[in-house]
Structure 1
Amino acid sequence: MVNQLADRLSLKSKNRLLRVLHQAGDLSAKICLKHFGKSPTFSKKPDRTPVTVADRMAERTIRKTIKSEFRGHWIWGEEFGEEGDKNSEFRWWIDPIDGTLQYIRGLPFWGSVIGVEYQGEVIAGLINHPAIDLRIWAAKDLGCFANGKTCRVSNIKKLSDATVAFGSLKNLKPADIKKVSKICRTAYDNRGSLDIFSHSLVIQGHLDAMMEFKLGPHDISAVKICLEEAGGKFTDLKNRKTIYAGNAISSNSFIHNSLLRVQ
């Protein structure tokens, strides 16, 4: 039913969403790049994750861009929480800088993540990596693109031939540690996390899967639609197609079930 509802959204409406996503990406990138590489000061939020002035300024700009075009849409951002009509058919998720610690330390792989849900399904999203001049975007049934070129996931068919990346392994449950260890032994190769950039690598076919064990909808809303439009598969660790589980697997689809079966 959700897919049928999302399919009713017109091409014009999808293109309008994409236009606003790109506008928000352009404006927030200018802010983030202005402060990047200059050892920005930061503070720690209650969950002890860092936040900079660029995070807050970029999110304000993204919110303003959305609201100027779509009055009443519900918006949730990492730095300022929610606003708008909770009953709106549209829900926007914003992570102004995913990989803030990277950003602070001068690593260029951080990115801005903006996703849009319509009646419960993510239908458009943008992942912007301005420090390396990479932008990925997608809308339902319109394909996924990186800097204007069509994205496709890899065609690696077996986990034993695949390269798999993992999010932070800090504070993992024993069962998850066991799962990660077994995947590392089974896969051809494994990599540590570069936050959102690891998902971007899966979307472009440079990695075969990325697993994360602690995240929120704002971290991955755009990942889901971009990956699916690039031919991949996105689920939680229980094989549910949701951004709300607090964990996620992005894959090229071929090795997805193999990852899920590892215990």
Structure 2
Amino acid sequence: MSTSLEQMLDFARQIAYEAGQITLQYFQRGVTVERKVDESPVTIADRAAERHLRAMIQAAYPDHAVLGEEDGLSGSEHATYRWVLDPIDGTKSFVRGVPLYGVLIGLLREGEPVLGVIHLPALAETVAAAQGLGCFWNNQPCRVSSISTLRESLVVGTTAHDYERYAKEAAFQRILARAALFRTWGDCYGYVLVATGRAEVALDPAMNVWDAAALLPILTEAGGTYTDWQGTPTIYNHEGIGSNKHVLPELLALISGEEQV
């Protein structure tokens, strides 16, 4: 199969949808929850969706590597392309019957994120992007908002507590005090809101690479940014901020303490 980004994006959209349909078979059905070593939840839906994604990728691109949250790395560590999968981003929402969860597919080329898909099965929404091709929300072009100040901004976050565990509590409180509105519409859904112009900032004090790989190309192609809390565009620093770009300097000044509320 072709390795053009456009064709790989179409492929990723399709398999994200298929994996999402698998998750819906278990959604709001009282699925059994297990605990991983780190105490995070996992269900049969996570595992079944990831197995499907892996099988489809390995059949279409046998020379590509695959890294998934549930089953780790398969294929060569030195492969040019590596698919990065989170079959259910927002498992805690999923197990409570809340529809704000998504299937995440990212693609790295020589370690650089170049393609991302977020499919929200229970909401029937998909946001997809690839480097140089733009960002699309349900197949229509989408952009971040043009709001330029935090005092006008909607800030969303996966959590409203535990920032002190990551030495971010003071920065978080400064952001809260400045923002027009804060809501805990988190996990991948928060970044979908930023990419589609419905929120200005999404915050996560802790991230894994499978949480982040799809986000950087999506937000960049939508005209925004995905960075760590120091403003570096990376998926590897175990933390994340999505923004509409316009409010990022103000946000970073608050985080560093250079600017006070």
TM range, normalised to the smaller chain?
A: over 0.9
Contact 1:165 1:207 (C-alpha < 8 Å) held by counterparts: yes
The residue correspondences of 1:185-204 to structure 2 (distance < 5 A) are 185-204=177-196
Partner of 1:92: 83
**Given the alignment of the two structures, is residue 140 of structure 1 paired with residue 113 of structure 2, yes or no?**
no
Distance, in Å, in 1 between the alignment partners of 2:73 and 2:160 is 29
Distance, in Å, in 2 between the alignment partners of 1:109 and 1:228 is 22
Structure 1 stretches of 4+ moved >3 Å: none
Partner of 1:23: 14
SS of the aligned residue for 1:173 comes to helix
Distance, in Å, in 2 between the alignment partners of 1:178 and 1:76 is 34
Residue number among 2, 5, 29 corresponding to 1:14 in the alignment? 5
Give how far 1:12 is off. 6.6
SS of the aligned residue for 1:46 comes to coil
SS of the aligned residue for 2:70 comes to coil
Unaligned runs of 5+ in 1: 1-10
Distance, in Å, in 2 between the alignment partners of 1:228 and 1:159 is 20
Distance, in Å, in 2 between the alignment partners of 1:145 and 1:208 is 17
Give how far 1:238 is off. 1.4
Partner of 1:261: 253
Change beyond 3 A, Cα 1:12–1:117: closer
Partner of 1:152: 143
Give how far 1:75 is off. 1.0
Contact 2:103 2:118 (C-alpha < 8 Å) held by counterparts: yes
Contact 1:20 1:65 (C-alpha < 8 Å) held by counterparts: no
TM-score normalised per structure 1: 0.93
Question: What fraction of aligned residue pairs are identical, expressed as a percent?
Answer: 34
**Given the alignment of the two structures, is residue 213 of structure 1 paired with residue 205 of structure 2, yes or no?**
yes
Amino acid of the structure 2 residue aligned with 1:64: A
Deviations 1:155-182 (A, max 9, x none): 0011121111122244333741111111
Aligned residues: 253
Contact 1:152 1:231 (C-alpha < 8 Å) held by counterparts: yes
Partner of 1:176: 168
Residue number among 111, 126, 137 corresponding to 1:120 in the alignment? 111
**Given the alignment of the two structures, is residue 106 of structure 1 paired with residue 97 of structure 2, yes or no?**
yes
Residue number among 43, 49, 52 corresponding to 1:58 in the alignment? 49
Deviations 1:80-102 (A, max 9, x none): 01110111111111000001111
Give how far 1:120 is off. 2.4
Amino acid of the structure 2 residue aligned with 1:168: T
Unaligned runs of 5+ in 2: none
TM-score normalised per structure 2: 0.93
Note the aligned Cα RMSD (angstroms).
Answer: 1.4
SS of the aligned residue for 1:242 comes to coil
Amino acid of the structure 1 residue aligned with 2:83: W
Residue number among 214, 233, 237 corresponding to 2:229 in the alignment? 237
Amino acid of the structure 2 residue aligned with 1:79: E
Deviations 1:13-33 (A, max 9, x none): 112211220231122112101
SS of the aligned residue for 2:168 comes to helix
Deviates more, 1:187-196 or 1:65-74: 187-196
